């Protein structure tokens, strides 16, 4: 989860190609929340809340609570040795530090006006259901999908309780097309069964997300599936 005011575990790449050089983040470059923060006029990169270099002024410029490898299901984080979603809510500590920096009233204003980006789920299916068949021994894929949707809804209600009012919920990409899946299956083709699971999951979280209610809530579902699918099918459109 990332928090952006409005006015991950280390990989072998460690952000080498990012604007700031090696970052230790679970990506080789910038991610969507970094570009959003820059577009909002704050910073080119959202610093992780647990980053040793985190400065108190970073509290005002956007914070990432994400942990590479986690998911809606707490078991997924256990498998990947990541920080589970409930424990990513260092947001409570963040609010205390923010209040000390700018005062309680201003802190509440920043929290309520900020943009919250929630994006996960691929690891739940790949790491926890297919690659490591833990949940598949307990659930059918349909039942597991419903379980993840219920987890998503519960966690978003927790965010609302803590003061979030502007939420972007990002759906799943067509994860049957990602390099990991193609490598494991030794093929250049997408796994359409996996893609169908992602599509179904997206339909369900979008429907459930629409039922989320709170005074002043503004929400948007981000259809990353269609964007990614378009880039895969028509790469020439994107250069």
Token code pair at residue 101: 């920096």
- Give the whole-angstrom CA distance, residue 55 versus residue 57: 5
How far is the C-alpha of 103 from the C-alpha of 227, rounded, in Å?
Answer: 41
DSSP state of 93: H
Question: What's the domain range around 22?
Answer: 2-238
Domain count along the chain: 1
Question: Which residues is 115 bridged to in the sheet?
Answer: 4
In the chain, alpha helices (H): 32-39, 74-80, 85-88, 91-102, 104-113, 122-125, 141-161, 179-184, 192-209, 224-233
DSSP β-ladder status, 47-48 and 63-64:
parallel
Each residue's pLDDT, cut to its tens digit, for the chain (239 residues) gives 665 555 433 333 455 556 666 666 777 778 888 888 889 888 888 888 888 888 888 888 888 888 888 999 999 999 988 888 877 667 888 999 999 999 999 999 999 999 999 999 999 999 999 998 999 999 999 999 999 999 999 999 999 999 999 999 999 999 999 999 999 999 999 999 999 999 999 999 999 999 999 999 999 999 999 999 999 999 999 88
- According to DSSP, residue 27 is labeled S
């Amino acid at each position: 989860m990332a928090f952006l005011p409005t006015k991950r575990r280390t990989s072998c790449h460690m952000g080498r190609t990012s604007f700031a050089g090696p970052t230790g983040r679970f990506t080789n470059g910038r991610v969507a929340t970094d570009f959003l923060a820059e577009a909002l006029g704050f910073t080119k990169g959202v610093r992780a809340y647990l980053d040793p270099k985190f400065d108190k002024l970073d509290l005002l410029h956007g914070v990432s609570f994400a942990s590479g490898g986690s998911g809606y299901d707490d078991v997924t984080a256990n498998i990947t040795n990541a920080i589970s979603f409930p424990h990513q809510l260092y947001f409570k500590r963040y609010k205390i530090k923010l209040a000390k920096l700018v005062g309680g009233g201003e802190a509440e204003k920043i929290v309520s006006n900020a943009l919250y980006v929630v994006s996960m789920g691929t690891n739940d299916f790949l790491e926890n259901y297919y690659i490591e068949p833990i949940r598949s021994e307990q659930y059918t894929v349909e039942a597991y999908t419903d379980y993840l949707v219920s987890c998503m809804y519960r966690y978003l209600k927790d965010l609302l309780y803590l003061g979030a009012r502007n939420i972007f919920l990002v759906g799943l990409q067509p994860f049957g097309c990602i390099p990991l899946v193609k490598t494991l299956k030794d093929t250049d083709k997408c796994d359409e069964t996996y893609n169908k699971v992602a599509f179904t999951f997206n339909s369900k979280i979008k429907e459930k997300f629409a039922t989320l209610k709170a005074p002043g809530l503004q929400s948007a579902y981000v259809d990353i599936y269609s964007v990614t699918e378009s880039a895969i099918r028509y790469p020439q459109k994107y250069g």
